[in-house]
Amino acid sequence: MERAELEGRARRLAAAGGRRILGIAGAPGAGKSTLAARLADALGPELAVVVPMDGFHLAQAELVRLGRADRKGAPDTFDAAGYTALLGRLRASGGADASAEAVYAPAFDRSLEEPVAGSIRVDPAVPLVITEGNYLLHDAGPWAQVRALMDEVWFLAPQDGLRVRRLVERHVRHGKEEAYARQWVARSDEANARLVAPGRMRADLVVE
Protein backbone atom coordinates (compact mmCIF):
# COMPACT_ATOMS: atom_id res chain seq x y z
CA MET A 1 0.00 0.00 0.00
CA GLU A 2 1.32 3.43 -0.95
CA ARG A 3 2.12 6.10 1.63
CA ALA A 4 -0.70 8.34 0.38
CA GLU A 5 -3.19 5.51 0.86
CA LEU A 6 -2.02 4.98 4.44
CA GLU A 7 -2.27 8.69 5.16
CA GLY A 8 -5.79 8.73 3.72
CA ARG A 9 -6.84 5.80 5.87
CA ALA A 10 -5.46 7.50 8.99
CA ARG A 11 -7.19 10.76 8.06
CA ARG A 12 -10.54 8.97 7.69
CA LEU A 13 -10.06 7.42 11.11
CA ALA A 14 -9.36 10.87 12.61
CA ALA A 15 -12.57 12.19 11.03
CA ALA A 16 -14.74 9.34 12.31
CA GLY A 17 -15.79 11.22 15.45
CA GLY A 18 -14.65 11.12 19.06
CA ARG A 19 -11.23 9.85 20.09
CA ARG A 20 -9.77 7.12 17.87
CA ILE A 21 -6.64 5.06 18.48
CA LEU A 22 -4.57 3.65 15.62
CA GLY A 23 -2.00 1.00 16.50
CA ILE A 24 1.07 0.23 14.42
CA ALA A 25 2.60 -3.13 15.32
CA GLY A 26 5.44 -5.23 14.01
CA ALA A 27 8.77 -6.81 14.84
CA PRO A 28 11.77 -4.79 16.04
CA GLY A 29 13.14 -2.73 13.16
CA ALA A 30 9.96 -2.93 11.07
CA GLY A 31 9.69 0.86 10.76
CA LYS A 32 6.86 1.46 13.22
CA SER A 33 8.12 4.72 14.71
CA THR A 34 9.04 6.08 11.27
CA LEU A 35 5.57 5.43 9.86
CA ALA A 36 3.86 6.78 12.98
CA ALA A 37 5.87 10.01 12.78
CA ARG A 38 5.15 10.41 9.06
CA LEU A 39 1.42 9.93 9.57
CA ALA A 40 1.37 12.45 12.43
CA ASP A 41 3.32 14.97 10.33
CA ALA A 42 0.93 14.50 7.40
CA LEU A 43 -2.18 15.00 9.53
CA GLY A 44 -0.74 17.78 11.67
CA PRO A 45 -0.84 18.33 15.46
CA GLU A 46 -4.51 19.34 15.45
CA LEU A 47 -5.50 15.88 14.25
CA ALA A 48 -2.89 13.40 15.47
CA VAL A 49 -0.32 12.70 18.17
CA VAL A 50 2.07 9.76 18.57
CA VAL A 51 2.21 7.87 21.89
CA PRO A 52 4.81 5.08 21.66
CA MET A 53 4.61 1.86 23.64
CA ASP A 54 8.36 2.20 24.32
CA GLY A 55 7.64 4.84 26.96
CA PHE A 56 6.62 1.91 29.16
CA HIS A 57 10.02 0.23 29.20
CA LEU A 58 10.96 -0.57 32.77
CA ALA A 59 13.88 1.52 34.03
CA GLN A 60 17.32 -0.03 33.65
CA ALA A 61 17.78 -0.24 37.42
CA GLU A 62 14.56 -2.22 37.72
CA LEU A 63 15.56 -4.54 34.89
CA VAL A 64 18.85 -5.22 36.68
CA ARG A 65 17.00 -5.89 39.94
CA LEU A 66 14.68 -8.34 38.16
CA GLY A 67 17.53 -10.03 36.29
CA ARG A 68 16.09 -9.07 32.89
CA ALA A 69 18.57 -6.46 31.65
CA ASP A 70 20.18 -8.86 29.17
CA ARG A 71 16.89 -9.25 27.29
CA LYS A 72 15.58 -5.71 27.37
CA GLY A 73 12.73 -5.42 24.89
CA ALA A 74 11.06 -8.73 25.78
CA PRO A 75 7.36 -8.56 26.76
CA ASP A 76 8.08 -8.76 30.50
CA THR A 77 10.51 -5.82 30.40
CA PHE A 78 7.64 -3.36 29.93
CA ASP A 79 4.91 -2.08 32.23
CA ALA A 80 2.14 -3.61 30.12
CA ALA A 81 -0.56 -2.85 32.70
CA GLY A 82 0.51 0.80 32.76
CA TYR A 83 0.38 1.02 28.98
CA THR A 84 -3.09 -0.54 28.94
CA ALA A 85 -4.29 1.90 31.58
CA LEU A 86 -2.97 4.84 29.55
CA LEU A 87 -4.80 3.66 26.43
CA GLY A 88 -7.98 3.52 28.49
CA ARG A 89 -7.44 7.08 29.70
CA LEU A 90 -6.76 8.27 26.17
CA ARG A 91 -10.00 6.74 24.91
CA ALA A 92 -11.97 8.36 27.72
CA SER A 93 -10.36 11.80 27.49
CA GLY A 94 -11.06 12.68 23.87
CA GLY A 95 -13.95 14.82 22.72
CA ALA A 96 -15.29 18.33 22.61
CA ASP A 97 -15.82 18.63 26.38
CA ALA A 98 -13.99 21.84 27.30
CA SER A 99 -13.53 20.61 30.87
CA ALA A 100 -11.57 17.52 29.77
CA GLU A 101 -7.93 17.60 30.77
CA ALA A 102 -4.86 16.77 28.75
CA VAL A 103 -3.26 13.38 29.31
CA TYR A 104 0.52 13.12 29.62
CA ALA A 105 2.33 10.05 28.30
CA PRO A 106 5.92 8.87 28.73
CA ALA A 107 8.47 8.63 25.93
CA PHE A 108 11.62 6.54 25.57
CA ASP A 109 14.90 8.45 25.28
CA ARG A 110 17.27 6.33 23.19
CA SER A 111 20.25 8.49 24.13
CA LEU A 112 19.63 7.56 27.78
CA GLU A 113 18.08 4.14 27.10
CA GLU A 114 15.44 5.09 29.68
CA PRO A 115 11.74 6.06 29.72
CA VAL A 116 10.95 9.69 30.58
CA ALA A 117 7.61 10.39 32.25
CA GLY A 118 5.27 13.20 31.21
CA SER A 119 6.99 13.78 27.86
CA ILE A 120 4.01 13.74 25.49
CA ARG A 121 0.93 15.94 25.93
CA VAL A 122 -2.30 14.64 24.42
CA ASP A 123 -4.93 17.37 24.27
CA PRO A 124 -8.56 16.23 24.47
CA ALA A 125 -9.39 17.94 21.15
CA VAL A 126 -6.91 15.80 19.18
CA PRO A 127 -9.06 13.09 17.56
CA LEU A 128 -6.39 10.52 16.64
CA VAL A 129 -3.77 8.91 18.86
CA ILE A 130 -1.22 6.86 16.95
CA THR A 131 0.49 4.31 19.16
CA GLU A 132 3.25 2.00 17.98
CA GLY A 133 5.16 -0.91 19.44
CA ASN A 134 6.10 -4.56 19.19
CA TYR A 135 3.38 -6.09 21.34
CA LEU A 136 0.14 -4.37 20.37
CA LEU A 137 -1.16 -7.68 18.96
CA HIS A 138 0.55 -9.99 21.44
CA ASP A 139 -2.07 -12.21 23.08
CA ALA A 140 -0.26 -13.34 26.24
CA GLY A 141 -0.62 -11.94 29.77
CA PRO A 142 -1.66 -8.28 30.19
CA TRP A 143 -0.84 -7.58 26.52
CA ALA A 144 -3.99 -9.47 25.54
CA GLN A 145 -6.07 -6.48 26.72
CA VAL A 146 -4.43 -3.98 24.39
CA ARG A 147 -6.10 -4.87 21.08
CA ALA A 148 -9.62 -4.09 22.33
CA LEU A 149 -8.56 -0.52 23.18
CA MET A 150 -7.58 0.34 19.60
CA ASP A 151 -9.85 1.07 16.65
CA GLU A 152 -7.44 -0.25 14.05
CA VAL A 153 -4.08 -2.00 14.13
CA TRP A 154 -1.70 -2.17 11.18
CA PHE A 155 1.09 -4.74 11.08
CA LEU A 156 4.32 -3.78 9.31
CA ALA A 157 6.07 -6.68 7.60
CA PRO A 158 9.16 -5.56 5.66
CA GLN A 159 11.66 -8.04 4.24
CA ASP A 160 13.61 -9.59 7.14
CA GLY A 161 17.05 -8.74 5.76
CA LEU A 162 16.16 -5.04 5.57
CA ARG A 163 14.62 -5.10 9.04
CA VAL A 164 17.70 -6.73 10.63
CA ARG A 165 20.02 -4.30 8.87
CA ARG A 166 18.00 -1.37 10.22
CA LEU A 167 18.24 -2.80 13.74
CA VAL A 168 22.01 -3.20 13.64
CA GLU A 169 22.40 0.34 12.27
CA ARG A 170 20.13 1.71 15.01
CA HIS A 171 22.11 0.03 17.80
CA VAL A 172 25.40 1.29 16.33
CA ARG A 173 23.96 4.79 16.01
CA HIS A 174 23.14 4.74 19.71
CA GLY A 175 26.59 3.70 20.84
CA LYS A 176 26.97 -0.08 20.51
CA GLU A 177 29.96 -1.63 18.75
CA GLU A 178 28.89 -3.27 15.49
CA ALA A 179 29.88 -6.79 16.54
CA TYR A 180 27.95 -6.43 19.81
CA ALA A 181 24.97 -4.92 17.94
CA ARG A 182 24.83 -7.92 15.59
CA GLN A 183 25.01 -10.31 18.54
CA TRP A 184 22.24 -8.44 20.39
CA VAL A 185 19.98 -8.44 17.32
CA ALA A 186 20.49 -12.17 16.73
CA ARG A 187 19.93 -13.12 20.37
CA SER A 188 17.38 -10.63 21.68
CA ASP A 189 15.63 -8.69 18.93
CA GLU A 190 15.05 -11.73 16.74
CA ALA A 191 13.64 -13.72 19.66
CA ASN A 192 11.15 -10.90 20.17
CA ALA A 193 10.40 -10.83 16.43
CA ARG A 194 9.35 -14.48 16.61
CA LEU A 195 6.95 -13.65 19.45
CA VAL A 196 5.46 -10.77 17.49
CA ALA A 197 4.99 -12.62 14.18
CA PRO A 198 1.67 -14.41 15.01
CA GLY A 199 0.02 -11.02 15.65
CA ARG A 200 0.00 -10.44 11.90
CA MET A 201 -3.11 -12.62 11.69
CA ARG A 202 -5.02 -10.29 14.05
CA ALA A 203 -4.20 -7.05 12.24
CA ASP A 204 -6.72 -4.99 10.28
CA LEU A 205 -4.08 -4.23 7.66
CA VAL A 206 -0.70 -5.79 6.79
CA VAL A 207 1.78 -3.37 5.21
CA GLU A 208 4.55 -5.17 3.35
Structural domains in the chain (count): 1
Give the closest residue to 49 by CA, choosing from 129, 132, 149, 150.
129
CATH classification at residue 82? 3.40.50.300
Q: Is the dihedral of CA 147, 149, 150, 156 positive or negative?
A: negative
**What tens-digit pLDDT sequence spans the chain (208 residues)?**
788 999 999 999 999 999 999 999 999 999 999 999 999 999 999 999 999 999 999 999 999 999 999 899 999 999 999 999 999 999 988 765 556 789 999 999 988 889 999 999 999 999 999 999 999 999 999 999 999 999 999 999 998 888 889 888 988 988 888 898 898 888 888 999 999 999 999 999 999 8
DSSP 23-83: EEEESTTSSHHHHHHHHHHHH-TTTEEE--GGGGBPPHHHHHHHT-GGGTTSGGGB-HHHH
Q: What's the whole-model pTM score?
A: 0.92
> Hey, which bits of 99-143 come out as E strands?
103-109, 114-122, 128-133
76: containing domain:
3-207
Give the closest residue to 163 by CA, choosing from 127, 192, 140.
192
Cβ of 110: how many Cβ atoms within 10 Å? 14
Give the closest residue to 29 by CA, choosing from 180, 172, 146.
172
Burial 136-148 (b: 16+ CB within 10 A, else e): bbbeeebbebbbe
